[in-house]
Amino acid sequence: MIVAEQKPLEEIEGLIAEARKVLVVGCGTCVTVCFAGGEKESGILASCLRMASKIDGAAKDVTHITIQRQCEWEYIDAIAEQIGEAQVVLSLGCGVGVQALAERYPQAWVVPGLNTAFMGLPTEQGVWEERCAACGSCILGLTGGICPIARCAKQLLNGPCGGSQDGECEIGRGTPCAWQLIYDRLKAQDRLHLLLEIQPAKNWSSSRDGGPRKITREDLRLAAETSE
């Protein structure tokens, strides 16, 4: 899932400073599950912004609404009225959601309330870790299901480097060495021979390096849209 966290309150207040009427838009999918921008978080943020602005001497009218997903037009279309009434729209969706709102409502001024961080999972309640870097050409079949692009600080394909110690990456912070994990996994499955092959230089053009990406499925497109 996409994992994000709320921006510091002061930064958010800076982004809505010019507005007297603010709409906070929450999202019911990824950011709900990582407790950053769901219904509850939107409600709390709206309440805080009302109180803070009142104490500051210039009370703002802050309301909130949460839609199932901010990344699909059908859900976004349903809140056109509320968007129209606001001076600033504070989106608590991930970066995709913020942009979708802005694209659907170009006259609205949409600002982000979250910092979208990575694709990952909760390894335990309250802890989320990065797992996928969306490189566009998945090699998990060679590494026992552990991704060296997302989890190795140097994105090595023939790791580990010399800084790996006691299973920890040289950057510290409790980061496990991805190649130690891969080594252990392959050893346990008697597949260490996979590591003897020299992995050639990666084709990064399928990754973000190649430019913004797009996938089209002609078999799924609707007739009206394909006739452009």
Partner 1 sequence: MGDTHNNGFHSGSRLERLLRAGHFAVTAELGPPQNADGETIRKKAQLLRGNADAVNITDNQTAIVRMSSIGAGTIVVQEGLEPIIQMTCRDRNRLAMQSDLLGAYALGMRNVLCLTGDHQSFGNHPTAKNVHDLDSLQLVQMVAGMRDQRQFQCGDEIKGVEPRFFVGAAANPFGDPFEWRPLRLAKKVKAGASFIQTQLIYNVPRFAEFMEKVRELGVHKQVYILAGIGPLKSPGMAKYMRDEVPGLDLPTEFVDRMTLAAEGIDKEDKKARAAAWRQEGIKIAVELIQQVRQIEGVAGVHVMAIEWEEAVRPIVEGAGLLPRPEPAPLPSESAAPGAT
Partner 2 sequence: MSEGALQIVAFCCHYCAYAAADLAGVLRLHYPAEAKIVEIPCTGRLDMLEVLHAFEGGADGVMVAGCLEGDCHFRTGNLNARRRVERTQAVLASIGLEAGRIQMFNMSSAMGKRFAEAAQSMTEEIRALGPSPLRSAVDGRAEILSEQGVAENAQGPAT
**Does position 6 bind partner 2 by CB under 8 A?**
yes
- Closest separation in Å from C-beta 119 to partner 2: 20
Single residue of 157, 176, 194, 206 touching partner 1 by CB under 8 A: 157
Name residues contacting partner 1, limited to 183-202 (CB under 8 A): 183-184, 195-196, 198-202
**Does position 105 bind partner 1 by CB under 8 A?**
no
- Closest separation in Å from C-beta 112 to partner 2: 11
- Closest separation in Å from C-beta 152 to partner 1: 9
Does a cis peptide bond (omega within 30 degrees of 0) precede residue 160?
A: yes
Distance CA 56, CA 90 (A): 19
Single residue of 145, 167, 188, 189 touching partner 1 by CB under 8 A: 167
- For partner 1, the binding residues (CB under 8 A) are 153-168, 170-171, 177, 180, 183-184, 195-196, 198-202, 204
- For partner 2, the binding residues (CB under 8 A) are 5-12, 35-36, 40-41, 43-45, 47-48, 50-52, 54-57, 59, 113
